[in-house]
Amino acid sequence: MSVELPFAPVDSLIRRNAGDLRVSAEAAEELARRIQDRGADLAADAAEVATADGRKTLMASDFGADEVADKDELELPIAPVDRIARLDIDDYRVAMEARVALAAQLEAYAETVAAAAAELARHAERRTVKAEDVEAYFELARFFE
């Protein structure tokens, strides 16, 4: 599966959380892949909610959003998020508010992962956040699910 999300905004999200640490290109790529997987899963769950309501259009509420963020304040671009939403679902439309709601959720998710990856890099006494830090976050997270 190719990664739909451009790496530059993901890199910006990691750098925002990394402070004085450097960020490897591989870390941004790994996080982008993980964001994409999460987005596809969330969209599949939202499609189940829409189907239960007899709809073929995903709405922001299908993603659990009470309010929709301002799309201009998000780091993640909406067009790739729309493509991510459609990866595992066929024959559904995705309303603009749903795209923005999904982008906001994915950005919050990325912020959490990026902050943890930066902390793992510091713990390893490195000055660079690497893909292995992102991977380690998910390994550790399995124990807390």
In CATH terms, the fold of domain 7-144 is Histone, subunit A (1.10.20)
pLDDT at 1 over 70: no
Angle at 75 between CA 69 and CA 76, to 5 degrees: 90
> Could you write out the three-class secondary structure of 55-72?
CCEECHHHHCCCCCCCHH
36-52: pLDDT as tens digits: 999 999 999 999 999 99
Report DSSP state, residue 23.
Answer: E
Query: Do 78 and 87 contact (CB within 8 A), yes or no?
Result: no
Tokens of 123: 């713990």
Name the percent of the chain lying above pLDDT 90: 90
pTM, 2 dp:
0.94
Tens-digit pLDDT profile for residues 48-104: 999 999 999 999 999 999 888 899 999 999 999 999 999 999 899 999 999 999 999
d(CA 89, CA 53): 16
Percent of the chain with pLDDT over 70: 99
| Average pLDDT along the chain | 95
